[in-house]
Structure formats: C-alpha cells, structure tokens
Structure 1
Amino acid sequence: MKVAPLTNWADHRDRSLQSNHVFSVLRYGAYGDGRHDDTKALSKAWAAACSSLNPSTVLIPKGKKCLTKHVTFFGPCKSSIKLMIEGTLVAPPKRSYWIEDTIRHWILFRSVRGLTVTGGGTIDGNGKFWWQNSCKVNTKLALTFYSCTNLKVNNLEVLNSQQIHISMERCSDVRMSRLSIRAPSTSPNTDGIHIAHSKDVKVMDCAIKTGDDCMSIEDGTENLHVKNIVCGPGHGISIGSLGDRNSQAQVANITIDGVRLHDTANGARIKTWQGGRGYAKNIVFKNMIMDNVRNPIIIDQNYCDSATPCNKQVKEHDDHDGFIHLFMYIDFIFC
C-alpha cells in the first residue's frame, strides 16, 4: 500500500495569489528564522484574512520557520479561509515559553467554517522536553480543531507533538488526507489523529508513526470513514477508551477500510471502562494487513488506565448496563 507523497504547493502559488487575498505573515512582522517569536504576526495575519469579505489565505512562505507560542485562530470568518503552510511552524523549545492558562493547546482553531489547512510544509511540536516530563492527566494537543465545519486538512507533515498530534472535537463535514504524522516510538501519549464528538469525517491516504494510537476514536464520533492508512510503529487503531468515570458514551457507523499496520502493539481495538454505559455499534474493520502486530484484534470491556487501581470487574453487564452492543464485521488479511 502506498500513500501519496506530499506535494510542493509553490507551483500553485501564482494561481492562489490571483484568485484569493493572500496575507503573508512576513507582512505582519514575522521574522521566519525559527528563533524570534512570530506569534503576534501570525495572529495579525489571521485576523486580517478572517475579516476579509473574499476567500483569503494566510501564508507561511516556503523556507521560513515561524516560532509560535500558543495561538487560537477564532472564527467565524466572513468568508472561507486557508492556512497555507509552505514553510514550518515550530513550537517553543522550553517550558518557560508556555503559560498555565493555555498550556493544553498549542495551535487551536475554534468555530471556523470553510477552513483549509494545507501547503506541503511542516508543523513541528518540538515535544522532546515534554516527553521527559509526560503527564497524561494534563494532555497537550499540537493541532486542535474545535467546533469547525466544512474543514479540510491535507498535504502536511506533523512532527513531534507534545502529546496528541491532531485533535478533532465537535467538528462536522471534515476531510483529512495526505498527512505524514511522525514521532519516536518511545514518545508517550503522542496519538496521531484523535476524533471525538464529531460526525461525517473522512480520513484518507495518511502515514502515521507515533508512540501511541495511530488513531483514537472516542465518544460522540459518528459516520467516520478511514481509508488507505499506513500505521506503525504505535498502538494501532483504537475505538475508545469509552465510559471513563462511569460516564455514557456512544460511537456509531465507523468504517476502517484498507490499513497496513506494522510493528504495533494492537491492530483493531475497542476499549471501554468498567462501569461505563452506552454503545459502540456498526463498526467495520476490513482489508487490514498486519505485520508484527502483538494483538491483531482486541476488545477490552474492562479497560483501566488510571493512577489508582480500578476495581476488578466481576459481573457481566446486562443489556441496560455497559457497552454490550458491539457489532463488528471483521475481514482481516494477515501477512
């Protein structure tokens, strides 16, 4: 299975300049040298593009490396908007650059409709110093899309996130494709793509190599189609965990079709906490090729990943208590 290579978007820049209003971060004071703080320049370029009545582009030019601290790109915008990353966005290298109020997110898109993030460039989370002091309770997300609609994310390299690389929360009508997501196999909690409370999502033609789940599919996910993914190393593709702290969770209509997994802890996985309620239904895994996968298929209804021990589960759930409804069509190819 081959994943389409990243495309150099420089050849398409002239056409983009003619059809859209382009707001280069250099016009707003960005240094682009990877050492000076370009957060304000990036925010100013976004604000100008977002307020434009015409479809607009925020440009990080090729060959430029923009160091940015936490930044939130707020919507709604007055027209469709594109973040064209031809160069690199890089996170600060020291904890002192971060403040406690925003430490959970690095780059956050909030309530944006008609957003495209693309360009053939790189988003580098610079996560090494976070991994050395990892804390799962205070999860950090490199690239977060929250309450976004009509969203496209494609043709990017996302590297070395502090923890989760790309998080999709409360989004709809999403297309993600041609993404290369990479972190060392020893990096903790560095999920590739995390999806929760989102619907009508397609993920295609991606290569994911991380220290945790290649994809984690959580509560509220509905109508997700995943096609042509290369996964490994990592923990595989997981639905869940669901139902932590005795909560109710629902996941439905998930199709994972055409995945190659190599050197992963798991293949197809569904994990639910004891005491949780809800369902995971209409789950399809098919056309999966696995090489050196420790647990090809694993359904765990007694999951526990807590600082304190969980109670041992001794009673089977009935139809009204727990994730009893696991409907799964499985078509695996082993090699």
Structure 2
Amino acid sequence: MASATTAKLLWSLLIALLLLSVCDASSVKEPDGTSVVFSIENYGARGDGKHDDTQALAKAWTAACSSSRPAALLVPKGKSYLLKSTTLSGPCKSTVVFMVKGMLVAPSRSDWSEDNISHWIMFQGISGLTVTGGGVINGNGEVWWKNSCKTNEALPCTHAPTALTFHLCDNLKVDYLKIVNSQQIHMSVEDCTDVQLTRLSITAPGTSPNTDGIHITRSKDVQVRDCIIKTGDDCMSIEDGTHNLHVTKVVCGPGHGISIGSLGDDNSRAEVSGITIDSVQLYGTTNGARIKTWQGGSGFAKDIIFQNIIMDNVQNPIIIDQNYCDSAKPCQDQESAVEINSIIFKNIRGTTTSKDAIKLSCNKNAPCSDISLENIELKLEGGKGDTESTCQNAKWRKSGNVVPSPCKGNN
C-alpha cells in the first residue's frame, strides 16, 4: 500500500490530468463535412449576455432537428447567450450535435415563473443527440442560493431550476462541457437509455444548497467517466429506476459524495441495481460511498460495487443509512423499508474526520444482507487515533485487511 504522501501526490496528478482533459477544447471534434451547420447567430442571436436569445435558439433547433442530413447546432465561441427556460424536443429526422463553444447563461431569478421553474434547458425525446463543444453552461445560481430555506431558515422552501435536463433520450452523449453555478441540480438524466457522460467539469461553491452535480433516475445503460465535480450537494445522486450504471475516474469534492438514494420517500417503491463506482477520488466531502433509504418505502437496492476509491478528509467514508430522514419533523418508525443486499465495498483507502469510518445503519424490519468489506484502510486525518465501525441489523462479511475492524462483532 502506498504511503499517504505518495497517495496524495498521485491523487493531485490525476486531478491535474482530468482538468487538462476537461478543459482542452482542442480535443473537441468538429462537425464533419457531411453535417449541416446551423449557427444560432443566423437566427437572430446577439450573444451579448443581455438580450434574450431564447427564440433564436428555438428556431435554430427546429431547423437542425428537421434536417434530413446529420446536423450541428452551433453556439459560437467568445460570446454569452442569454437563455430563458427552454425545451428542445424531438424526435429529429437525423442525428444532432449541439455544439456549445461559447457560454449559455441563465436570466436573473425575477425572469422565472412558477410554470417554468423546474427546468432551465431541457432536451426531450431525442435519439442520437450529442452535446459537446468545450463551452460553458452558467446557471447564474447565486441569487437562488441566497433565497433558499437551506441558506436562510426564515425563508419558505421553494423549487429552483435544474440547469441541464435530458428526458426520454436514447443514444445520448454529453462531453467536454463546463457546467457552473446551477440554480439547483446541474445535470439530470431522466428516463434515458444508452448514455455516455464524459470529460465534464461541474462546479459550484461548497456552500451552495441542493446543487447536485449529476442526478440519474429511471435510466439504464449509463456510463460516467473522466469528470470533475465540485458542488454543495451530492457529486452524483443515483435514484429510483437506475440500472446498469458504470462510473469511473471521477474526482469529487467538495460536496456530499456519491449517493445512491435517497430511495423510498413518501412510502414509494424504488428499484436500483447493477451499479459500479470504480476508481473515484473524494476529498473534503461529507460522505464517501453512500446508500440512503427512507423507512416506509419498498423495493430494492442490489448488486452495487464501490471499488478502488481514495478518500481524503471525508467525514463518513462508508455509510449505509436505511433510516434516512431529511425532514423538519421527526420521522416515525415504519414497518417496511427498501431492501439492501449484494453490496461490495472493495479496495478503499484514505483518511476520515470521523472515528466512525464505517457505518451500516439498517432497518430492523428489513435488515441489510450480503454486505462485503474487502481490503479497506481508513485512518483518522492527522493520525489522531483509531477509527471505528458501527453496525445495526446488517449481515456482513470481510476479506483481506479491513481497518477499522468491521463492527466489533455486532452483526
């Protein structure tokens, strides 16, 4: 096992390489000669960051989506295009590349109404869509964060837009984008199939509320790789209906870590399976590898692997919480729960700010089962003592060296 100093140097090198990869717009593939290019400036966009360019984008999209030949919709480099809430819908006659080279910027909070507050830019019902270009999606979220009840408890809790939403899309590719300062969630993938999310830079202050990096729900056959995510909430939130997801080479922090859940809220049924989180770096996050479910729910979270993970200064490195409660009122004990089984935590090392480095808090009515802990070494930051583990209603096994020793016989 490498020393802590060596691990941190390797980690810093990986971050630098990923940053170079994400920011190297020269690697973005230009539309080939067979594609028809539709620039939003040919449809009236000004690109001064002040005038509303929403209608220009809508017209350019209609033209590109209607093209019988492969199309590229171009957002030119060096300008800022102000966009209000907009939905770009399919089906399209051919494949479309949405080429963002400049910046798309959201309007001020006063320009939003209750009718369109859930989404800023949505792509819906499209097959064969690619979104790329090396440009910036700027949610202009600062004013939303100031008006959040999680920032100021005296304020009412209200919804805020998701910056980039993909709904009912298949054969989707999103790469080489910078998504910054979302109003709430940065990117949401919903009801999609065959998705590749690569070389993305997603950033917001660690204090920004509910700014999840990548949110995935009701989607299958999804790959996420070579991304850097720095937000105020989950780097990735993986929710109901997600199946066959593979995440690799993601750097996360600050934020709340990588979470499966929350699942089963409001007594709902949730099903999640076939999740692999591999070769991930987490630093300064609230949680590391996390599964969270509400009491009263039903369904399952199974066949999940967290492996080859380095953690630095993480508060809760390994945590299963089957009694999750994010409510102003105390949550009542209920008889049902989302079942959690066939979970592997493997080759995980690093430092934690909490003595409880491994927490398996499961429900007495639906205990967690088949939990495997393999080759784990988690030490207190600064070497200030020994780490510990706690288990409730969890059936686990270990192999290799596991530090801290799992649960001290409490099984």
The TM-score range, normalised by the shorter chain, is: over 0.9
Deviation string, structure 1 residues 108-158 (Cα, Å, up to 9, x no partner): 011010000000000000000000112565242000000000000000000
User: Does residue 1:267 correspond to 2:288, yes or no?
Assistant: yes
The residue aligned with 2:64 is 49
**What's the CA shift for 1:306?**
1.9
Aligned letter for 1:7? D
**Residues 9 and 86, structure 1, Cα contact 8 Å, conserved in 2:** no
Q: CA RMSD in A?
A: 1.5
Superposed, 1:164-203 pairs within 5 Å as 164-203=185-224
**Alignment CA distance shift 1:249-1:78 (3 Å):** same
The residue aligned with 1:333 is 349
Superposed, 1:183-332 pairs within 5 Å as 183-311=204-332, 313=333, 321-331=336-346, 332=348
SS of residue matched to 2:33: helix
**What's the CA shift for 1:10?**
8.9
The residue aligned with 2:142 is 128
Deviation string, structure 1 residues 61-104 (Cα, Å, up to 9, x no partner): 11011000001000010000011000000001x22211221111
The residue aligned with 1:40 is 55
**Residues 148 and 158, structure 2, Cα contact 8 Å, conserved in 1:** no
**What's the CA shift for 1:12?**
4.8
Aligned letter for 1:228? K
User: Does residue 1:8 correspond to 2:25, yes or no?
Assistant: yes
**Residues 38 and 63, structure 2, Cα contact 8 Å, conserved in 1:** yes
How many correspondences in the alignment? Answer: 326
SS of residue matched to 1:5: helix
**What's the CA shift for 1:17?**
5.8
Aligned letter for 2:65? C
**Residues 236 and 264, structure 1, Cα contact 8 Å, conserved in 2:** yes
In 2: Cα distance, 1:307 partner to 1:142 partner: 27
**Residues 28 and 132, structure 2, Cα contact 8 Å, conserved in 1:** no
The residue aligned with 1:111 is 125
**Alignment CA distance shift 1:216-1:26 (3 Å):** same
- TM-score, length-scaled by structure 1: 0.94
**Residues 47 and 81, structure 2, Cα contact 8 Å, conserved in 1:** yes
Aligned letter for 2:46? Y
**What's the CA shift for 1:258?**
0.4
Question: Per chain length, whose mean CA-contact separation is higher, i.e. which structure has more relative contact order (CA < 8 Å, sep 6+)?
Answer: 1
Larger mean CA deviation between 139-148 and 231-240 belongs to 139-148
- TM-score, length-scaled by structure 2: 0.77
Q: Specify every segment of 5 or more residues in structure 2 that has no aligned partner in the other structure, as ranges.
A: 1-13, 150-156, 352-411
In 1: Cα distance, 2:258 partner to 2:50 partner: 36
SS of residue matched to 2:59: helix
**Residues 264 and 270, structure 2, Cα contact 8 Å, conserved in 1:** yes
The residue aligned with 2:398 is none
SS of residue matched to 2:314: coil
In 2: Cα distance, 1:244 partner to 1:140 partner: 21
**What's the CA shift for 1:8?**
1.9
In 2: Cα distance, 1:133 partner to 1:177 partner: 32
The runs of 4+ residues in structure 1 deviating greater than 6 Å are none
Deviation string, structure 1 residues 216-248 (Cα, Å, up to 9, x no partner): 000000000000000000000000000000111
Q: Specify every segment of 5 or more residues in structure 1 that has no aligned partner in the other structure, as ranges.
A: none
**What's the CA shift for 1:25?**
0.4
**Alignment CA distance shift 1:17-1:247 (3 Å):** same
The residue aligned with 1:159 is 180
SS of residue matched to 1:185: coil
**What's the CA shift for 1:18?**
2.2
SS of residue matched to 1:43: helix
In 2: Cα distance, 1:26 partner to 1:9 partner: 22
**Alignment CA distance shift 1:205-1:293 (3 Å):** same
In 2: Cα distance, 1:84 partner to 1:137 partner: 33
**What's the CA shift for 1:307?**
3.3
Q: Which has the larger radius of gyration?
A: 2
SS of residue matched to 1:113: coil
**Residues 9 and 119, structure 1, Cα contact 8 Å, conserved in 2:** no
**Residues 28 and 134, structure 2, Cα contact 8 Å, conserved in 1:** no
**Residues 10 and 62, structure 1, Cα contact 8 Å, conserved in 2:** no
SS of residue matched to 1:44: helix
In 2: Cα distance, 1:293 partner to 1:187 partner: 18
